[in-house]
Copies of this chain bind each other. A is one copy, B any other.
Amino acid sequence: MIELAQLRDTLRVRPVDGMATLSGYDAASTELIGGKSEANAQLAKMQQKLFDAHDVLFASKQQSVLLVLQGLDCSGKNGTIKHVVIALNPAGVRIASFKEPTDEEEEHHFLWRHRQELPEPGELSVFDRSHYEDLIVPLALNTSDESEVDKRIEEVNEFEKELVEGGTTIIKCLLHLSYDEQRERFLRRLRRDDKRWKFSLGDLETRRKWDEFQAAYGTVIAATSTELCPWYVIPSDHKWYRNWAIAQLLLGTLDSMGLAYPQPEFDLETIRAELAAPN
C-alpha cells in the first residue's frame, strides 16, 4: 500500500497563477500502481479495512467525513459509490445526489440544500455532485457575472472551513475524464438496456461545451483548493485506477484521524450477575 503523504502529493491539484489547466493532467494516468490486477487485489483488501476504519468513526461519534465527488457525465461518480463506498456499513453512510435544484431549493441560499445532507458525528457523507455545481455551471455557461462567482467561491471556502473546524474531514475528488473516453462511455451506455436510462440528451449539450467546462473546473478548483481542503484530481479514464485511488485516499484519511473505539466503564461482574438471572 502507498503512503498517504505520497498519494496526496501526487494527486493534489497544483494551480499555476491561480489556474489549474486540466489538459495538463493525464486522465489515463496509472502512475501509482503496477496495473489493473494489482489494483483490484489491493481494492479487495482495502474494502475490509475501510469497513473497519469507518466502524471506529461510526462508534466514536466525534468526527465525520465528507467525500465530495465532482466530475462530468460518465466520469464515475456512481461507479465510485458502487465499488468503494459500498464497502462501508450503510448505517453510517449518507449519500446525497444533487440534481438541478427544485423550486423550493432555488428560493434558498445555494448552500442551504447541502447543509441538510452534511454528515452527523460518526457519519460519512458522499456528495454525488455538490455545491461546486453552483460555481462551475454558471461559470461554464456564462450565466453569472464574475463577481457573483467570486462571491460564491469565498462563501464555499468559508463554509468548508467552518465544517473542518466542527470536526468534519473533507475529501474533494475531481474525477478527471478525457473527451475520448467520455465518448466511449456514452456509446456503451446507449447500447446497454440496463444503462440507457442514465443517458439524456442534455448530456450532449454539456459535452458540446467541453472546453468551457474544463476551464470552469480549472478556475474553481484552483480557487477552492486550500490547505484545509485541497482538491485531488483523480485520473478516471481507467475505472480500476479511479476506484483504487479513491479507496486509498479514503482509507488513508480515516487511518490518519486518530479514531478509537469509546471504552465505557462497566462493572462487568455486576452486569454478569444480573444477566445470569433466569427470566
Q: A264 interface residue, CB < 8 Å from B? A: yes
Looking at chain A's contact residues, the main secondary structure is: helix
Contacts of A86 on B, CB cut-off 8 Å? 86, 89-90
> Do A193 and B263 have beta carbons less than 8 Å apart?
yes
Question: Residues of B contacting A89 with CB < 8 Å?
Answer: 78, 81-82, 86
- What is the minimal beta-carbon distance from A168 to any residue of chain B, in angstroms? 19
Report copies per complex: 2
Total A residues in contact with B, Cβ cutoff 8 Å = 47
Contact between chains at A199 and B90 (CB < 8 Å): no
**Contact of A31 with B by CB under 8 A:** no
Contact assessment for A279 and B91 in the assembled complex, using a CB-CB cutoff below 8 Å: no
From A95, A199, A210, residue with most partner B Cβ within 10 Å: A95
Contacts of A204 in B (CB 8 A): 271, 274-275
Q: Which residue of B lies closest to A208 (CB)?
A: B274
- The answer to whether the Cβ of A272 comes within 8 Å of any Cβ in the partner chain is yes
Query: Would you call A114 an interface residue if the criterion is a C-beta within 8 Å of the partner chain's C-beta atoms?
Result: no
* Distance to closest chain B CB from A166 (angstroms): 19
Residues of B within 8 A of A93 (CB): 90, 95
